[in-house]
Amino acid sequence: MINLRLRHAGLAVAALLAACGDNAVAPTDDASPQPHFDAHVADPPDAAVDAGLIDAAHAAAIDASIDGPADAAIDAAPDARPDATPDAPPPPPDRDHDGTIDDLDCAPDDDHAWVLLALFPDGDHDHVGAGTPIATCTDGTAPDGTSILGTDCADNDDRSWQVLVYANVNRDRDQATRPEVGSVCSGASLVPPYFATATGNDGDDGDPDRWRFVVLYPDGDGDGVGAGHSQIPCLGAAIPDGLTIGGYDEDDGDPRVTEDPDDDEDELLDLYD
């Protein structure tokens, strides 16, 4: 591009010199050097002025004729190496350097708190609260005396915090339960007198000395084998006098007469002989 501009400058100066006519410097016969124009100098028009070949006005005209189109072409040309990676925008501010930007940080000047939690008061410190939740700026965990859970059914008892369903009870604390369905505030599991599964079948849950039903027969002769209509009382460990679990006595008035249950099986076998 520079060589092109110098060439244009040389041609323009040459044209001006040709048009000077009588004003041109005539050659002489002496050996003294004559002013001349060097087309390889950095600024040909100014060099021509310095050599006395043209005046300043002509030099300015030459500069205008050369610089105008050339500069426009240079300005229109694309950059040799455009910047393909624009500068990245600055990161959002995080004044306390806790990793949460200020716009999302509930405490932008406290690096120990950055997230809001709805926390319930935990009066018994069993990690389950109750009551009305309070919005609290935290580090993501609930401080002591608060909880993210608000389902405590007994916030003054650290042994109970959840409602569980039971299907059996044993209020007299004996050896058996009786069916009863309900729910109760508990801890990790049901505690007596409430149970999910049955143990025995307590006929009287108000008397610890009675916890089972037994099929009994009257034993009139006291031989340990009864007869007649059965009954099913609620008992403890002992069987009351005058009753027995066997009901096959053929003569309940004679203690010498009983019938072995195996006799019924023998009679059935005789029928097939």
What single string gives the DSSP state of each residue in 149-209? ----S-TT-TT--EEEEEEEE-TT-SS--EEEEEEEEESSS--TTEESS--S--S-TT-TT
* Average pLDDT over the chain, rounded to an integer: 79
Contacts of 36-45 with CB under 8 Å at 24 or more apart are 37/10, 37/13, 39/6, 39/7, 39/9, 39/10, 39/13, 40/6, 44/6, 44/9, 44/10, 44/13, 45/9, 45/12, 45/13
Is residue 25 scored above 50 in pLDDT?
no
The model's confidence at residue 252, banded by pLDDT at 50, 70 and 90, is confident
Q: What share of the chain is helix, strand, coil (3-state, %, to 5)?
A: 20, 15, 65
Determine the residue type at 187.
Answer: G
What residues pair up with 182 in beta bridges, in sequence order? 166
Of the candidates 175, 178, 179, 119, the residue with the CA atom closest to the CA atom of residue 152 = 119
* Cα–Cα distance, 168 to 171 (Å, whole number): 10
Mean pLDDT of 209-225: 90
pLDDT band at 149 (very low <50, low <70, confident <90, very high): very high
Q: Which helix (H) or strand (E) holds 224?
A: none
- Beta bridge partners, 234, equal 213
**83 and 69 Cβ atoms separated by less than 8 Å:** no
Of the listed ranges 207-216, 223-232, 243-252, the one predicted with least confidence? 243-252
> What is the percentage of the chain residues whose pLDDT exceeds 90?
51
d(CA 72, CA 224): 133
Residues 6+ apart with CB under 8 A from 115: 100, 106, 137, 138, 139, 140
How many other C-beta atoms lie within 10 A of the C-beta of residue 172? 18
pLDDT for 3 beyond 60: no
Express each pLDDT in 63-107 by its tens digit. Answer: 666 655 555 555 555 555 655 677 889 999 999 999 999 999 999
Task: Place 21 in a pLDDT band, splitting at 50, 70 and 90.
Answer: very low
pLDDT at residue 97, rounded to an integer: 94
Closest CA to 17 of 64, 51, 41, 68: 51
Could you give the C-alpha distances from 149 to 133, 155, 160, in angstroms and in order? Answer: 9, 12, 14
Chain CA centroid to CA 252, Å: 79
* pTM for the model: 0.53
Range 128-138 average pLDDT: 96
